[in-house]
Chains A and B, each alone.
Chain A
Amino acid sequence: MSKLLSMTEAIRRYVPDGASVALGLALEPCIPFAAGHEIIRQGRRDLTLIGPISDILFDQLIGAGCVAKIQAAWVGNVSEGLGHCYRRATEQALPRPIVTEDHSNFTIGLALRAASLGAPYIPTRSLLGSDLPRKNPTFLQAPSPFDGSPLLLVPALQPDVTILHVQRSDEDGNAHLWGSLGICQEAMLAARRVIIVAEEIVSREVIISDPNRVIGPSYKVCAVVHEPWGAHPSAVQGYYDRDHQFYHEYHTRTRTPEGFQQWLDEWVLGLKTRQAYVAKLGETRCRSLGVKEHRYAAPVDYGY
């Protein structure tokens, strides 16, 4: 059954106001910027964002006023440093106050893993002695029932919707993702629903020729969006590398609320579709980020 939808329709149907949304789950690569920009254009409000190290997409959603709460390990601009919108929201409640429940990369992964297993929590010794458990009231500390040693209990976290950017998918949401995976799989398995955004739509035969590369069960997928360059300026292995300059420009231009608004008008609100965004990027820039030298994996034999 085809689940192909336009980005507009996928976000309209499956990311309502107040939803908890996991995205940016591979850490620096494969960040679903196109989906985030559509969330901004549709004016979603009161979202909870869930992620590990989250690069500037979280900053943009916060600056656009879409976000009420953050459950993440890090919010900023990975190659540049601080996120200006995140700072304005947390320090001055601009454009609105947000609540933050701080995690580490490990604990946010464990929280999603716990949900994916139907477990109420997963214990760890990470973060013992840190002030993070004080700042995140969802954590509990308790002695191990086996030997009495101190443990941090990380409660299960189930996103309403997980948005994953992948290299390729079939129309049913059977999706191949390769490269470093971050916490993509945990977030897919934990979520109530999953939106797949793919560089390419391929046939079911291409996907099932290599089932080990599939990120999770397609029955969880509610929508498949075909959006080439949908993760720019982050990298998608085999398609394009990270556009470091874009992050630098964002960092420089968003120091003030006015600067952010101009950036947002130029790159998000003023562009109705991803095609318009790619056209604005221009062929030269896209070519400079694209693959210069293909490095194909050796085929594997599933024969018997």
Chain B
Amino acid sequence: MDYTPRELMVVCAARQIRDGERVFVGMRLPLLAFALAKRTHAPNCIGIFETGLIRDTPARELLYTMGDAPNICGALWATSTINVIGLMAAGEIELGFIGGAEIDRYGNLNTSLIGDWQQPRVRLPGSGGGADIASLAQRLAIIMPHERHRLRERVDFVTSPGYGYPDEHGPAGVAWRQRVGLPRGGPAVLITTLAVFTFDPSSGEALLQSYHPGSSIEQVQEQTGWPLRLAPDCAETAPPTPEELRLIRECDPHGVWTS
């Protein structure tokens, strides 16, 4: 069955959501992933949106932004941004989704600028809630296009902290997050147009967990700016089921986010 890379990314993202979890839903593809998870394996998950919304049902229409009118209708709670990010600061949100322009092998994300931080060559929009989600969620899922210039050995600027870097005080990974004072969390998964990475929490390094059908370890390596480490059970990504594709296309019939 034919499907687009972004449809597979939505499926991979939805599979990260466990039933009953509280999920901080980011812009674009995660909006669809939440809707898909709700309708398949995670009917009891709860979506939290940084505009200040909590819902336990997907919106009735495709969302271009989380602030669209259909996302307010049927919400469990319409409140302030501080209240919902505050829940995450208090440790109550299991999973958060974000995207990025650049990521490195330790899961550090850049959405701020390319080049020198004092005189950037390209200015990107910035953190939004991304740095908060990366700092405060129990687990972080990252979604981005897979291109060599985006998956780099080291990002130009850390907007959203992943597992940091090894330094004179110790390794990257969970230990780095503890050193800098982050209360919990760290990247659990990186979902790209070519592959899925998980992370080794002790070293903080990305591990190739699976490569998408039609891709290969070699192709992923070619498009990745650091030498790949493979997860012990690295395999091909399970393709979307017909039911998953049907539900995604029901949510996004014109392929606004998935084409």
Binding site for B on A (CB under 8 A): 26-29, 52-53, 72-76, 78-79, 81-83, 86-87, 90-91, 102-107, 109-110, 113, 124-132, 134-135, 149-151, 178-186, 234-235, 237, 241-242, 244, 295
* Contact residue among A79, A105, A178, A242 (Cβ-Cβ distance under 8 Å from B81): A105
Given A74-B128, A181-B80, A185-B80, check contact A130 B69 (CB 8 Å): no
User: Which of B177-185, B230-238, B239-247 lies at the interface?
Assistant: B177-185
B125 contacts A75, C-beta separation under 8 Å: yes
Q: Mark B99-139, 1 if CB is under 8 A from A, else 0.
A: 00000000000001000010011111111111110111000
Closest-by-CB residue of A relative to B82 is A109
Please give me the 8 A-B residue pairs with the lowest Cβ-Cβ distance, nearest first. Answer: A150-B181, A28-B67, A76-B125, A129-B180, A129-B161, A180-B51, A90-B123, A74-B128
* Contact residue among B71, B117, B126 (Cβ-Cβ distance under 8 Å from A74): B126
User: Which of B3-11, B14-22, B35-43, B152-160 lies at the interface?
Assistant: B152-160
Closest-by-CB residue of A relative to B74 is A295
Interface flag for B211 (CB, 8 Å): no
In the bound complex, residues from chain B placing their C-beta under 8 Å from that of A235 are 67-69
In the bound complex, residues from chain B placing their C-beta under 8 Å from that of A106 are 81-82, 85-86, 89, 129, 132
* Residues 46-105 of B contacting A (Cβ, < 8 Å): 49-53, 64-73, 75, 78-82, 85-86, 89
What number of A-B contacts does a CB cutoff of 8 Å give? 189
Interface flag for B228 (CB, 8 Å): no
Interface flag for B217 (CB, 8 Å): no
Given A91-B120, A103-B127, A180-B49, check contact A127 B67 (CB 8 Å): no
Binding site for A on B (CB under 8 A): 27, 49-53, 64-73, 75, 78-82, 85-86, 89, 112, 117, 120-132, 134-136, 157-161, 164, 176-177, 180-183
Bound complex: CA A102 to CA B82 (Å): 17
A285 CB to nearest B CB, Å: 16
A179 contacts B82, C-beta separation under 8 Å: no
Bound complex: CA A144 to CA B160 (Å): 22
Bound complex: CA A73 to CA B27 (Å): 15
A131 contacts B127, C-beta separation under 8 Å: no
A91 contacts B122, C-beta separation under 8 Å: yes
A162 CB to nearest B CB, Å: 14
B161 contacts A130, C-beta separation under 8 Å: yes
Bound complex: CA A105 to CA B180 (Å): 21
In the bound complex, residues from chain B placing their C-beta under 8 Å from that of A151 are 181
In the bound complex, residues from chain B placing their C-beta under 8 Å from that of A104 are 127-132
Bound complex: CA A158 to CA B158 (Å): 28
B65 contacts A105, C-beta separation under 8 Å: no
Bound complex: CA A235 to CA B64 (Å): 11
B79 contacts A180, C-beta separation under 8 Å: yes
Closest-by-CB residue of A relative to B86 is A106
B75 CB to nearest A CB, Å: 8
In the bound complex, residues from chain A placing their C-beta under 8 Å from that of B121 are 91
A82 contacts B125, C-beta separation under 8 Å: yes
Query: Given contacts A103-B127, A126-B132, could you give 15 more A-B pairs where the C-beta distance is less than 8 Å?
Result: A26-B67, A28-B67, A28-B68, A29-B69, A53-B128, A86-B123, A91-B122, A113-B82, A125-B183, A128-B180, A131-B158, A180-B72, A181-B78, A241-B70, A242-B67
In the bound complex, residues from chain A placing their C-beta under 8 Å from that of B69 are 29, 179, 235, 237, 241-242
Closest-by-CB residue of A relative to B132 is A106
A130 CB to nearest B CB, Å: 5
A28 contacts B66, C-beta separation under 8 Å: yes
30 A-B pairs (CB sep. < 8 Å) = A27-B51, A27-B66, A91-B121, A102-B112, A102-B127, A103-B127, A109-B81, A110-B82, A124-B89, A127-B131, A127-B135, A128-B161, A129-B135, A129-B164, A129-B181, A129-B182, A130-B134, A130-B135, A130-B160, A132-B127, A149-B181, A150-B180, A180-B51, A180-B52, A180-B75, A180-B79, A181-B79, A184-B80, A242-B69, A244-B64
In the bound complex, residues from chain B placing their C-beta under 8 Å from that of A178 are 78
Closest-by-CB residue of A relative to B181 is A150
Given A78-B65, A104-B130, A104-B131, check contact A183 B181 (CB 8 Å): no
In the bound complex, residues from chain B placing their C-beta under 8 Å from that of A130 are 127, 131, 134-135, 158-161
Closest-by-CB residue of B relative to A185 is B80
A145 CB to nearest B CB, Å: 14
B120 contacts A242, C-beta separation under 8 Å: no
* Contact residue among B78, B122, B131 (Cβ-Cβ distance under 8 Å from A126): B131
B112 CB to nearest A CB, Å: 7
Bound complex: CA A134 to CA B53 (Å): 31
Closest-by-CB residue of A relative to B49 is A180
In the bound complex, residues from chain A placing their C-beta under 8 Å from that of B127 are 73-74, 102-105, 130, 132
Most buried by B among A29, A81, A103, A104: A104
In the bound complex, residues from chain A placing their C-beta under 8 Å from that of B181 are 125, 128-129, 149-151
